[in-house]
Structure 1
Amino acid sequence: MSTETDKLHLKIPSFTDEIENTIRELGDNFRLLDLISDDYVSATPTSGDYLITKRLYNTSPIYGGYVGWVNVRTGKAAQMWRSLKAYKNGDYIIPNSDNGHVYICIQSGQSALTEPVFPVSTGIEFNDTRKSSTWAVTTQYKLNDIVLPTIENGRFYICIQAGESGNTEPPWQQVDGATTYDKNASWATYRICMWKEAGSAALFYPFGKIG
Structure 2
Amino acid sequence: MNNKQINFNSARFITSAPDITQMPEDTGVEIAFAGRSNAGKSSALNTITQQKSLARISKTPGRTQLINVFELSEGKRLIDLPGYGYAKVPQEMKLKWQAALSVYLQKRESLKGLVVLMDIRHPLKDIDQQLLQWASESQLPVLALLTKCDKLKPGQRNSEVLRVREAVKVFGGDIRVASFSSLKSLGLENAKEVLSAWLLQDDDLAATTDGASA
TM-score normalized by the length of structure 2: 0.21
Bigger fraction of residues in strand? 1
The structure whose Rg is larger is 1
Bigger fraction of residues in helix? 2
